[in-house]
Chains A and B, each alone.
Chain A
Amino acid sequence: VAFLDPDHELQVLREDLAWPPSLDSTGDLGTLRGLDNLEAGVIGRAATVRGEIVHRREYGVDDGGEGQNGPTFPETLALAQARLLEQFTRESRIESVSVAVERDPDVDGDIIATLRATATTGQPIGIAIPMGA
């Protein structure tokens, strides 16, 4: 990765409140900056059920209910992968993205989504997101 100007990273990937809330060294609300913020945003997008944010009807993953309490059929996994990919490509701070979805070996019926992406700043992102099926 080429040298990245911290100011440029902040301008592009921006800064947001940390969640769950935390306090910084001055006692103010903690924040996430740059790539950390983008990663938190991506996880938040995957964890949000579509329609949950009242004025963002298209934001979040449509749970559909097909896989509710059901086994992780290949079809269910493919559906989850498509929905996650659709959401991640809507994120304007991501240049390119791919998603792999597989059964969670530890939790029966759950899945793990593995995201590999490149931010518009050129930085790579790799996150594993555990999710209910």
Chain B
Amino acid sequence: VPTPIQYAQDFLAGVRGRLSPEAAARVDFSEGSKWDALAGGLARVMTRLEQVEAEAYDAHILERAVGSEVDAYCEAHGPVRRLSANKAKGAIAFHRPSAVAGGGYVPSGAEVRVPCNGSSVLFVAAADTPIAATATYVSVPAAAAMAGKASSVGRVAAGLSLTGQPGPLFDATLLPTSIDASGGVDIESDAELKARQRAYEQGKRGGTIESIRFAALSTPGVKHVVLASRYGVGSGGEGVAYVGDANWYADESLCADVARSLESWRAFGPSVNVRKMLLSKVASSATISLARSLVNYDQARLRALVVQKALDYFATRVDPYAWSATMLGARMSHADDEIVSVDVSCTVGGVASSGATSPLTIDGLVAAGGFPALLTVYSTDASLVSVQFEGS
């Protein structure tokens, strides 16, 4: 498959080849020229088409694969592997008429046949299990001798029988009376394995995460969207869309609307879960030094300008989950050229804070234990911005 660079070079060579030498000498093909940028755009499209074609080809191969071919395909296309068969596990209850026989134990390897669906399943004691001298009952851990769904016999309380004599220390008056066993599964079928492989590929497929942002914002009522992708925002991969209305709030109904809207984009993009934001208000207190004595200034006007700068700062951040007291102070200092310095202290929920960033990178998310259930975002109100002027 050609690389984007090869596609672009082929395109430019094709255009050049159709021009006369005189024309080719004066047409601008330098880097960044319109022809060059056009070549880049086409290369991007061609690369994407190649990717789509390869995905279709792979899907066809997987569809036609049988048995070990499916395993070979999965090994070549990711971490999905066929689930092996499991033996059912459980416990067998042994009873004896009286404790007069004394102690002893049910040895590991003792075999009990359990009737089930007109046939029988053999279970084997998994560990040496002693029975107290005074006891008439013991529960023995056991597993089916053969793996498979058929070994999940559930609870059976009749017809159990010992096969052979377990050993010299076994009390022959002990009889298996009931069993409760589950967890036996067959080896994964081709159809099941294919379904899991397809789900993996669909989640992994590079898509247009920006289209997810667009689709989420297109949902009536949604005003804010933050995307977190398992492969990084800007690429594809499964992820989470945190949504909120104009007040950064989302109820179940709004989340459901967004999810429904995203479903219609599903075929073209990554799978995305929809979660809510949690709004936290930042209170700030700014102490401002001015170039001259305070009597030279209209303090009310200056105060209003500084408060507006603070509101602008929170309103224009790219990432609503991140803020910085330093940046806030710097923005306030732009309110007027007479401002010499701004000293800002902030609190969130009454606790002093200098800012916050949220780990929306894959490394940060993994370190933090995955996508947060609620994304904390920050805003402020005019009433939460306090401004004092230093000096006399």
Q: B-contacting residues of A (Cβ < 8 Å)? A: 10-11, 14-17, 19, 37, 41, 44-45, 48, 52-56, 59-60, 68-71, 73, 92-93, 108
Contact = CB atoms under 8 A, between A and B. Distances in A.
Interface string B1-26: 00011011100000000000000011
B26 A73 contact: no
23 contacts: A16-B34, A16-B35, A17-B34, A19-B34, A37-B28, A41-B28, A41-B30, A44-B32, A45-B32, A53-B36, A54-B4, A54-B43, A55-B4, A55-B8, A55-B39, A55-B43, A56-B40, A68-B318, A69-B318, A69-B327, A70-B330, A92-B30, A108-B334
A17 B35 contact: yes
A11 B37 CA distance: 21
A93 B30 contact: yes
Interface of B: 4-5, 7-9, 25-28, 30-37, 39-41, 43-44, 47, 312, 316-318, 327, 330-331, 333-334
Given A53-B40, A54-B4, A55-B43, A71 B31 contact: no
A14 B317 contact: no
A60 B318 CA distance: 22
B261 to A, nearest CB: 28
Nearest to A32: B28
A54 B40 contact: yes
Nearest to B313: A69
Given A54-B4, A56-B31, A71 B331 contact: yes
Contacts of B39: 55
B35 A55 contact: no
A16 B33 contact: yes
Given A54-B47, A70-B327, A73-B330, 14 more contacts: A11-B26, A14-B27, A14-B30, A16-B35, A41-B33, A44-B32, A44-B37, A54-B44, A55-B9, A59-B31, A68-B318, A69-B318, A71-B330, A93-B30
Contacts of B33: 14, 16, 41
Nearest to B5: A55
Contacts of B7: 55
Given A54-B43, A55-B5, A69-B318, A16 B330 contact: no
B246 to A, nearest CB: 20
Nearest to A12: B26
A8 B26 CA distance: 10
Contacts of A16: 27-28, 33-35
Contacts of B333: 71
A24 to B, nearest CB: 15
A45 B32 CA distance: 7
A68 B327 CA distance: 11
A14 B318 contact: no
A17 B8 CA distance: 18
A17 B287 CA distance: 54
A52 B30 CA distance: 16
A69 B5 contact: no
A56 B333 CA distance: 39
Contacts of A11: 25-26
A123 B43 CA distance: 35
Contacts of A53: 31-32, 36-37, 40
Contacts of B37: 44, 53
Contacts of A10: 26
Contact of A41 (B32, B43, B47, B330): B32
B11 to A, nearest CB: 10
Interface centre among B9, B34, B47, B330 (most CB of A within 10 A): B34
Nearest to A29: B34
A116 to B, nearest CB: 20
A48 B39 CA distance: 15
A29 to B, nearest CB: 10
A43 B202 CA distance: 41
A92 to B, nearest CB: 7
A14 B28 contact: yes
B330 A48 contact: no
A56 B43 CA distance: 11
A15 B32 contact: no
Nearest to A108: B334
Contacts of A15: 26-28
